[in-house]
Amino acid sequence: MIDNSPEFRIKKAIGTTVMLLLVTFAALPTLWALLLAFRAPDAVFEPIWESPLKLTFDNFFNITRSDFPKALMNSFITAGLSTVFAMLVGVPAGFALAKSRVSGKFIASWILLLLRMAPPVGFVIPLFLLYVNAGLIDTYAGLVFAYMTLTLPLVTWSMWNSFSQVPDELIEAAIMDDASLTKAFLLIALPAARPGAVAAAILAFLVAWNDFFYSLIITRSDTTTAPVAVMNFISFDSVDWASIAVASIALTLPILPLMAIANRYIVQSLSGAVKG
Amino acid sequence: MTEVKLDRIGKSYGSVEAVQQFDLTIREGEFLVLLGPSGCGKSTTLRMIAGLESITKGDLMIGGTRMNDVDPKDRGVAMVFQNYALYPHKTVFDNMAMALKLQKVPAAEIQDRVGRTAELLGLTDYLHRKPAALSGGQRQRVAIGRAIVRTPDVFLFDEPLSNLDAKLRVKMRMELQELHDRLGATSVYVTHDQVEAMTLADRIVIMNGGVVAQVGTPREVYDRPADEFVAGFIGSPAMNFLDLMRDDTGRWITECGSLVLPSLPVDAGARRQVRLGVRPEHIAVTAGGQPQGDLDYQAEVLLDELLGADALLSLGVGKARLLARVGGTDHPVQGDRVAIALTAAQLHVFDADTGVALRD
């Protein structure tokens, strides 16, 4: 149906305007950061129209000489490992929760939800005390383990949901087809829940990647992650805005392709990937 | 060799008994249908044979071996599921080859066996498609092929046709029949569709509330239902039931006296009350006729429904209501006065309290 009445056109125009305003509002900080990243240090605080050509790549070279690349690598390692481990444990756990007939699932779901809802500050103090005694402060193992308090409940919870959508008959058919439970899980249930698994992995990675708080408390210098390392550009007497802008771009770029993949799979996993 | 024996098998969930004292021997090569309304325990029974459900009471013997605690894969059974349960990410070939691959059958033999099964089912052109690219009937054929390719001793079918549309269901039903004639394997088939049961079965087991109500050939369960439940469940439209009371002269009359039977076709013993069953197709209707014999009555057509070949007439005999099935051409219509005739041999009499059929 095409509505060409003036009334509808006005409504549509208002809608479009509001949407554009919101998009601009959301995109402005990103655009600003992009602009800052290319501005010469002395032009950072000048309005762009006064010196539009004071653009430079120096900021990018400067940052490679700082600690930031190492912090970025730390972020990759810790977010990556905590995602891998969370998947290794959480995917089978989600399968068990979705398909086994044991009682007590309610308690399990309650604890999982609690873990997901509870603020990190609730975990970080006991973890810190534990780590001080165990010598895990400023280690990869410590940080990965801490991130798993975020990623494991997330993966388990979402895989529970994904596996619930895989029909029981599919697994029963595999068992009738000579498969052991492990094989039925690996060969049949997991591929059927693949969109959910991809989405869960990406979301887990992003949670760890974006973390600031755990890293701030648990790391010192060796394993500092990128979000915390950004703070190093704020010194006692000055703030290196250009470097912060470059750093935030470096933090955002790697997750853009992930977001693109996640977008597709999250929609798929929400719409029920396994249909007759 | 592959006789399946269920020896007083039972399944209970806590205090709920889903299946009680299921006692039956399924003969080699027999096509046995478990029929009943939803929740009667027929699927549970099938799943106990498959090994997907544990058996809480009794013994299951397949080919002379006790199978209660044997893994599903080692029971020599294959199952076809209601919603096909095809592996969505695998091609038709891989779906059918799955069991053979897991058994580590050589690749050449897998190729050969899947190829032959696909040919049997007319699936050769679809072997490289994924299930999502198949029609409902084709999917069901793949599911059947997946069972056949394993050459099991016993086939189990769990309402395999209920997801198909009516037309396809008739076609697949005939295909299943041909297939069973060709393979001759022992088959257990669960359905709630009496037409499937009547057409496919060598014997039908009718279940109600977790209990076997009757076991018999399609002919037997139709002609000689064991109780009121079976009588009402088999046959479409369902049997008419009338409560009859014996008066002082020994005649049997309906509550308000509309229908009078001089005697019952069976010996009712000392009972003063019975329930009479008359199948709609066993009521002879003559337009404008006059009652002549003992079992003839005057009736009025209250409603007529044309089904095509047949018509259903809702008849009023005094205050009693009877549904009759008559030929679809020139049948009496609403408002007509008709004569109806019952035949003593086609009447069913049930105990008013227990519902058990009374026979001489």
Q: What is the DSSP string of A211-239?
A: --HHHHHH--STT--HHHHGGGGB-SS-B
Q: Do B73 and A179 touch (CB under 8 A)?
A: yes
CA B48 to chain CA centroid, nearest Å: 19
Residue B79 has its nearest CB partner, among A167, A176, A192, at A176
CB B206 within 8 A of CB B35: yes
pLDDT at A270: 58
The architecture of the domain spanning B4-233 is 3-Layer(aba) Sandwich (3.40)
Q: From A169, which residue of chain B is nearest by alpha-carbon distance?
A: B85
Q: What is the CATH number of domain A67-270?
A: 1.10.3720.10
pLDDT at A275: 44
Of all residues in chain A, what percent are helix, strand and coil, respectively (each to 5)? 75, 0, 25
Is pLDDT above 90 for A94?
yes
Euclidean distance between CA atoms B61 and B66, whole angstroms: 4
Stated length of chain A? 276
Is pLDDT above 90 for A55?
no
β-pairing verdict for B186-191 and B154-158: parallel
Is pLDDT above 80 for A266?
no
Q: Where are the domains of chain A?
A: 6-59, 67-270
Average pLDDT per consecutive 10 residues, chain B (360 residues; last block may be shorter)? 88 90 93 93 94 93 92 91 91 94 94 93 93 90 92 93 88 91 92 93 94 95 95 93 91 86 87 94 87 86 93 92 92 91 92 91
Q: How far A191 CA lies from chain B's nearest CA (Å)?
A: 7
Report, as an integer, the average pLDDT of A101-116: 82
Is pLDDT above 60 for A79?
yes
Report, as an integer, the average pLDDT of A115-121: 82
pLDDT at B112: 95
B87 to chain A: which residues are within 8 Å by CB?
Answer: 170, 173-174, 188, 191-192
Of A133-137, A182-186, A206-210, B265-269, least confident by mean pLDDT is: B265-269
Euclidean distance between CA atoms B135 and B131, whole angstroms: 8
CA A113 to chain CA centroid, nearest Å: 18
Of A25-39, A40-54, B249-263, least confident by mean pLDDT is: A40-54
pLDDT at B246: 92
pLDDT at A274: 45
pLDDT at B1: 55
Helices (H), chain B: 42-50, 92-102, 107-121, 136-148, 166-183, 194-200, 218-223, 228-233
Is pLDDT above 60 for A272?
no
Beta-bridge partner residues of B80? B157
A173 to chain B: which residues are within 8 Å by CB?
Answer: 79, 81, 85-87, 146
Q: Is the pTM of this model over 0.80?
A: yes
One of 3.10.110.10, 2.40.50.100, 3.40.640.10, 3.90.226.10 is the CATH number of B240-351, namely 2.40.50.100
Q: What is the amino acid identity at position A236?
A: F
Beta-bridge partner residues of B277? B241, B348
Residue B83 has its nearest CB partner, among A167, A179, A187, at A167
Q: Do A176 and B72 touch (CB under 8 A)?
A: yes
Is pLDDT above 90 for A122?
no
Q: Do A178 and B50 touch (CB under 8 A)?
A: no
Residue A192 has its nearest CB partner, among B73, B89, B132, at B89
Q: Taking CA B229 as the corner, what is the angle to CA B228 and CA B231, rounded to the nearest 5 degrees?
A: 60
Question: Please, which pLDDT band fits residue A236 given cuts at 50, 70 and 90?
Answer: confident
- In angstroms, the Cα distances linking A262 to A198, A203, A258, B220 are 7, 8, 6, 61
CA B56 to chain CA centroid, nearest Å: 26
B148 to chain A: which residues are within 8 Å by CB?
Answer: none
Calculate what percentage of chain A has a pLDDT beyond 90: 46
pLDDT at A273: 43
Q: How far A180 CA lies from chain B's nearest CA (Å)?
A: 9
